[in-house]
Structure 1
Amino acid sequence: MLTAPTSRPSLDEVTSIYRSPVLELILRAAEVHRRHHAIGEVQVCRLLSIKTGGCPEDCAYCPQSAHHRSPVASEPLMDVEAVVAAAEEAKADGATRFCMGAAWREAKDDARFNRVLEMIRRIKGLGGLEVCTTLGMVTADQARRLKEAGLDAYNHNLDTSESYYDRIITTRSYDDRLETLRHVREAGVSVCCGGILGMGESEEDRIALLHTLANLPEHPESVPINALVPVEGTPLADQPRLDIWAMVRAVATARVLMPTAMVRLSAGRLQMSEPEQALCFLAGANSIFAGERLLTTPNPDVDADAMLFARLGLHAREADPC
């Protein structure tokens, strides 16, 4: 009989969970999921790139980096009205969480940040949508202002393990990321934090990432698990497709370690078959990003996801009452 992990699990505990027989791990995660979440309920999110390309960071996976010769062109920050219209469309399509991503290293205290604050206020005014942003590093004061504007969640992924991190990013440290997470948490904003699998990291790196997430001062309310989508012009363009069992193990381990979190099946779904996605849902994933694009990479369209939900007997989570 496997025991429940401690509230601050050791690396050995996380390793034992991750490396347990995969069918046993899936069953265990499914049992944890059923104790803490509605069966068959999946939150549908929409992610919009509100400022695309030209980012000074050198993230090896990202086609928006100014360091890489990718097909993604730099574009300015979108107008408020266009973003609000996209949020209205997302809501009409059944999304209950609207996420906005800006290709910035850090948020600056300028007119563009004020425009993002106005976007948040306007989208919250629509009702029925959680609002999440990812703007790079933020200060404690910026996190406070985001909260005051009505922001529900802030996404800032750790991406990979601390030991593998400088193989992927050199322009920002792991401690920088942890500091932003601390600012967000202290401001009272929900934390969305996960990682990307398939970037050439080892199994030990995946385990270490999950160990770090489970040992943050508080568990993230949202844990996106991404599979790398290789993009031409980036250093990771030739990476092979992630083995599905690595994805399933990561989802299941995240569910066991962080029982109440929303485990979000994020980038890479377009490359996954329906049975592969079904395994991830069985292992504890209970959120997806819908819409034809996930920032700048392709994603299953709304109709394809509707068919998937119908086949698997899943249903979209309804908006929480205001």
Structure 2
Amino acid sequence: MISLESVTKLYHQPLLSLVFEAQSVHRQYHQTDTVQLCTLSNIKSGRCPEDCKYCPQSARYPTEVETYPLLPLDEVIDQAREAKKHGATRFCMGAAWRNAPDGEEFDRVIQMVEAVAGMGMEACVTMGMLRPEQAHRLAKAGLTAYNHNLDTSESFYPEIITTRTYRDRLETIQYVAEAGIQVCCGGIVGMGETDRDRIDLLYTLANLTPQPESVPINALSAVKGTPFGDLEAIDPLVIVRMVATARVLMPKAIVRLSAGRDRLSTSDQALCFLAGANSIFSSEKLLTTANPDWQEDSIMFEKLGVKPKDLV
């Protein structure tokens, strides 16, 4: 058990000392100068009944997000092939559901997972809360990881979402782990939370059993029409501090620089990589929000001398 006191002390270190510690840990567990490329596909968009204040896909908010039902299998396979061609080794599929459905739609997601895994790529899915039997079916289909973010601290969570509880999130994470699927679980900064909330989130993540194999650090992408549409962008150094603390607390995890990367300079991202981030989402969009494209990332990698990570 990692204590809250030790997480607090770690997080509040002088930033340069924290980044140095994080880089030292990173080099013990990971290849240096390599970053995994992932692609995230929005396989079902909008009309979600949840009220997450950051999300343009909620049916409750007047956003201009495109809405469509679950994509045909062939279209998703084409997207995965394209992603692999650009160097992505992980293909993530996101569907805006409160709960993973049963029946034909779930069967189609299973087929998508089998197809992506069959291409030799890591397959990841995020589609809301799961039941144990659904998690086992996904595991059998070859799913590498299931993404289910905690978003923030347990105490701040009701300020963001009222349609489900923190306990609901932790329950699905437990089902995923018990099915033998890797847990992909992180959070979002820039929603009006405090340092204490960020520390509590990292403390909770670090004490999950087992620890998440994948930890996405997202910065809020403020979308007009959502309750958080007018919030100012977070200071990039907060993201660096989150990445570095996550790296020290969860040394074996892949720490993913996720949403909000379009507002980070190459120098900001370099500092995040130095702090232990070793994965990015490289595709034109992250579900519904802007993201650097393949070409921009290729130029950045060349400047930094970073190579895309191959699957081991």
TM-score tier, shorter chain, comes to over 0.9
3-state SS of 2:98 partner: coil
Query: 1:22 corresponds to which letter in structure 2?
Result: L
Q: CA deviation at 1:319?
A: 2.3
Residue equivalent to 1:5: none
3-state SS of 1:137 partner: coil
Residue equivalent to 1:46: 39
Measured against aligned partners, the alpha-carbon deviations of 1:97-152 in whole angstroms (never above 9, x if no partner) come to: 0000000000121110010001111121122x100000100000000000011101
1:315 paired to 2:301:
no
Q: Percent of counterpart pairs with the same letter?
A: 57
Residue equivalent to 1:70: 63
- Residues 157 and 193, structure 1, Cα contact 8 Å, conserved in 2: yes
Structure 1 distance, partners of 2:92, 2:237, is 28
Number of aligned pairs?
A: 312
3-state SS of 1:65 partner: coil
Q: CA deviation at 1:248?
A: 0.7
1:199 paired to 2:188:
no
The gaps in structure 1 that reach 5 residues or longer are 1-7
3-state SS of 1:216 partner: coil
1:106 paired to 2:99:
yes
TM-score, normalised to structure 1's length?
Answer: 0.96
Residue equivalent to 1:27: 20
Alignment of 1:260-275 (within 5 A): 260-275=252-267
Structure 2 distance, partners of 1:58, 1:107, is 17
Structure 1 distance, partners of 2:256, 2:311, is 17
Q: CA deviation at 1:218?
A: 1.2
Residue 246 of structure 1, aligned match among 238, 254, 259: 238
Structure 2 distance, partners of 1:71, 1:203, is 32
Residue equivalent to 1:147: 139
- Residues 54 and 73, structure 1, Cα contact 8 Å, conserved in 2: no
Residue 125 of structure 2, aligned match among 113, 123, 133: 133
Q: CA deviation at 1:15?
A: 0.4
Residue 55 of structure 1, aligned match among 48, 52, 55: 48
Measured against aligned partners, the alpha-carbon deviations of 1:195-235 in whole angstroms (never above 9, x if no partner) come to: 00000001100000000000111110000000000001000
Residue 187 of structure 1, aligned match among 167, 179, 183: 179
Residue equivalent to 2:270: 278
RMSD: 0.6
Measured against aligned partners, the alpha-carbon deviations of 1:166-201 in whole angstroms (never above 9, x if no partner) come to: 000000100000000000000000000000000000
1:290 paired to 2:261:
no
3-state SS of 2:233 partner: coil
Structure 1 distance, partners of 2:101, 2:218, is 27
Measured against aligned partners, the alpha-carbon deviations of 1:239-298 in whole angstroms (never above 9, x if no partner) come to: 111011111110000000000000000001100111111110000000000011001101
Structure 2 distance, partners of 1:15, 1:245, is 17
Residue equivalent to 1:4: none
- Residues 29 and 252, structure 1, Cα contact 8 Å, conserved in 2: yes
Residue 86 of structure 2, aligned match among 84, 93, 98: 93
Structure 1 distance, partners of 2:233, 2:268, is 13
The gaps in structure 2 that reach 5 residues or longer are none
Structure 1 distance, partners of 2:10, 2:90, is 30
Residue 8 of structure 2, aligned match among 7, 12, 15: 15
Structure 1 distance, partners of 2:245, 2:310, is 26
- Residues 154 and 189, structure 1, Cα contact 8 Å, conserved in 2: yes
Residue equivalent to 2:206: 214
